[in-house]
Amino acid sequence: MTTASPVAPTTASAPSTIHRWTPVSRTASGALAALLLVLAFAPLVFTPEVTAKLTTLFVLVIVAAMWNALAGYAGLVSVGQQGFIGLGAYGVFLFVDRGVNPFVAVVLSALLAGAVAVPTSLLAFRLTGGQFAIGMWAIAEFFRLVVVNTPSLGGGSGRSLTDLSATDPAVRQAQVYWLALALMSALLLAVFVLLRSRLGASLEAIRDDPVGAASVGVRVASAKRLVFVLAAVGGAAAGGLTLANTLRVQPDSIFGVHWSAYMIFMVVIGGLGTFEGPIIGAIVFFLVQDWFGANGGTWYLIGLGALAIGMTLWMPHGLWGTVARRRDLELLPVGYRVKPPVV
Amino acid sequence: MNWINAIVQGVMLGGVYALFACGLSLMFGVMRTVNLSHGDLAVLGAFLVAVLAAAVGISPFFAVLLVLPVMGLVGVALQRGILSKALRTGEMSSMLATFGLAIVLQNVLLEIFSADSRSLDVGSLSSAGLQLGSSVSIPYLGLLTVAVAVALLGGLQLLLARTGIGRAIRATAADADTAELVGIDSRRVYAWAAAIAVATAGLAGAFFAMRSSFSPSMGPTQLLFAFEVVVIGGLGSLWGTLAGGMVLGIAQTVGAQVDPRFSIVAGHAVFLAVLAFRPQGLLGMRRSRT
């Protein structure tokens, strides 16, 4: 995302300056931080129904941001991230059954999924491009079938999180909301910091040309693996939060490939490979889902699919990407800008 | 004897999987892209055959022959309408677009035909078989499927190796830009490859529908199996695709023999084992490391 405007041959001694922040991005980042802070007070103002909906939105933002980090920055398109979402949800039971507090269990389960992602990457990284995409799907199916065949996890019919049913619903809903807000903020911050680090530049180099990146000394595999593990942790956090929010999980829905459809849709709508795009895509998707109902039937899905095709073909940079390019905007700066010297 | 029977059934099942994988493998080999709507196109083929056979009152086998050219045209439309534009911006776009198409196809079929599963009636052929001993029987339909798979993959091999269009396809697969320089119209080659790939997907869907019940939602699973076959068999090898189909089919039926719940898991496990220990596939060429 380095925006290098053509630099006129310098006649004076004043050098070009490289900087990250602009007045616009300072204001926007500050506003976002303030917004997150204000959102923390939502359970005190709104009804549990509203905070439950916002929790769903936060889960969508998490999975969209994670998928974007994978596909948009590391060039790893996966249609199997639901595998980690499912592991994250079912991992909660592993800890809860040993007496761990359910909210702590959500966090631990996300970290556990990150640990599972390391050996998974050893297998999955043997595939590239479209093969990696479906290979991840096969791995996600493998995870699902392992869960379905484990009786203590409820098998095919799923399992309920009874440990939280005892608490007052309003209190529980607020707690889940705060956890979701905290995890979303932490994960977005992690992606932001990652992309601004030296690794961020490596990742974009890998996405654009893996062989070229390797030839100039970028450690391709380890950079990809780091993002893969982060995306697994994020997906699993989303799964754990979904369980805490709905109190019940079924393998066919938590491991369902529709998650991949949603992630792809949000990121493609918002703008692949931009930091802001997936957040905007998640909000758009959340509103659409709210209007049509969560399972709005076949016509709703036909519309989503057709829109994904249309956006990919005619608006490949998505809503935010298109605006940002035209206006040269970056609200949350992850790249560098070159400012030509004032002559 | 049950184990021998399981292996025999696995070979028959493998014939269908090899048919499914054939088009996916061809499209990947030529266009370097994975068509994520492959499974749903196969289901579309199955429904077209079912509707045609019922409406005109002809045998499903005859209906297949009529549906194949239609599926070929669907392939050309896919290439001209979506892939040619998406491929220009890179592999990622074509994956996203075909994933979108998969969702659209599956839900349009759901809307038209409902979620009920149905089957393609092939009369007495569906149950008749060659009885060997007390517990092993070789169904004629399975034999026919394997024969068609062998003929199709062999025919495709001959087409690629011996004919002008085959040469053009191989040249385009190796390097589309250079092929253009020597006068090959890559648009035409891509259209041919897509037509063949989608037609074979339809054929696979029809044979699947003859041996077991089918519904609009089975596309993604078939895509997964087809993909596993391609990886197990090895990329760029059509005979590898046949072998991969057999291996996946046998893994599933032998897994089911151990415990019916293990059928699909066993298939995935073999796929993962191949990835771990022989990533180039059973008959594939060793790929250069990147």
Tell the burial category of B158 from Cβ atoms under 10 Å away from its Cβ (0-12, 13-18, 19+).
Answer: exposed
- B290/A contact by beta carbon, under 8 A: yes
**Element spanning B269, H or E:** helix B263-277
Q: Residues of B with CB below 8 A from A305's CB? A: 100-104, 107
Q: Report the alpha-carbon distance of residue A13 to residue A28 in Å, rounded.
A: 34
Q: Residues of B with CB below 8 A from A80's CB? A: none
Question: What is the average pLDDT value for chain B, to the nearest integer?
Answer: 88
Mutation choice for A interface testing from B35, B107, B258 by most A CBs within 10 A: B107
Residues B82, A145: C-beta atoms closer than 8 Å:
no
Question: CB–CB of A164/A102 below 8 Å?
Answer: yes
Q: Residues of B with CB below 8 A from A296's CB? A: none
- Taking CA atoms, B237 is separated from A81, A219, B46, B159, in Å, by 29, 32, 26, 14
Nearest CA in chain A to B227: A134
Q: Kindly tell me if the per-residue pLDDT of A8 is higher than 80.
A: no
- B77/A contact by beta carbon, under 8 A: no
pLDDT tens for A136-145 read 999 999 999 9
Query: Higher-confidence residue: A186 or B282?
Result: A186
Question: CB–CB of B228/B274 below 8 Å?
Answer: no
Q: Kindly tell me if the per-residue pLDDT of A1 is higher than 50.
A: no
Structure tokens given for B219: 């596309």
Closest approach of B8 to chain A, Cα-based (Å): 25
Q: Report the alpha-carbon distance of residue B252 to residue A207 in Å, rounded.
A: 37
Q: Report the alpha-carbon distance of residue A241 to residue A236 in Å, rounded.
A: 8
Q: Which of A164, B125, A99, A219 is nearest to A210 (CA)?
A: A219
Mutation choice for B interface testing from A148, A267, A302 by most B CBs within 10 A: A302
Handedness of CA A264, A267, A273, A275 (dihedral sign): negative
Q: How many residues does chain A have?
A: 343
Q: Report the alpha-carbon distance of residue A313 to residue A88 in Å, rounded.
A: 34
Q: Kindly tell me if the per-residue pLDDT of A7 is higher than 60.
A: no
Number of H helices, E strands in chain B: 12, 2
Handedness of CA A255, A258, A262, A267 (dihedral sign): positive
pLDDT tens for A281-323 read 999 999 888 887 655 677 888 888 898 899 888 888 888 888 8
Highest mean pLDDT among A19-28, A287-296, B273-282: B273-282
Minimum-distance CB partner of B103 among A134, A261, A313: A261
pLDDT confidence tier of residue A217, bands split at 50, 70 and 90: confident
- Residue B139: left if φ>0, alpha if ψ -120 to 50, beta else—which one? beta
Q: Kindly tell me if the per-residue pLDDT of A10 is higher than 80.
A: no
Residues A214, B290: C-beta atoms closer than 8 Å:
yes
Q: Which of B16, B63, B1 is nearest to B207 (CA)?
A: B16
pTM score of the predicted model: 0.86
Q: Report the alpha-carbon distance of residue B203 to residue B1 in Å, rounded.
A: 32
Q: Report the alpha-carbon distance of residue B69 to residue A28 in Å, rounded.
A: 56
Q: Report the alpha-carbon distance of residue A306 to residue B96 in Å, rounded.
A: 11
Closest approach of B191 to chain A, Cα-based (Å): 18
- Taking CA atoms, B96 is separated from A136, A264, A299, A313, in Å, by 15, 7, 19, 10
Mutation choice for B interface testing from A313, A314, A317 by most B CBs within 10 A: A313
Mean pLDDT across B220-236:
89
Question: What is the average pLDDT value for chain A, to the nearest integer?
Answer: 86
Q: Report the alpha-carbon distance of residue B159 to residue B167 in Å, rounded.
A: 8
Structure tokens given for B244: 């991969």
Residues A257, B220: C-beta atoms closer than 8 Å:
yes
pLDDT of residue B3: 86
- Report which DSSP code applies to A92: H
Residues 242-261 of chain B whose Cβ lies under 8 A from any Cβ of chain A = 261
Q: Kindly tell me if the per-residue pLDDT of A261 is higher than 50.
A: yes
Residue type, B154: G
pLDDT of residue A292: 74
Mean pLDDT across A21-42:
84
In chain A, the percentage of residues whose pLDDT exceeds 70 is 92
pLDDT tens for A89-107 read 999 999 999 989 999 999 9
Residue type, A115: A
Q: Report the alpha-carbon distance of residue B209 to residue B48 in Å, rounded.
A: 11
pLDDT tens for B76-101 read 999 999 998 888 777 788 888 999 99
- Report which DSSP code applies to B214: B
- Report which DSSP code applies to A197: S
Q: Residues of A with CB below 8 A from B269's CB? A: 142
Q: Kindly tell me if the per-residue pLDDT of B126 is higher than 80.
A: no
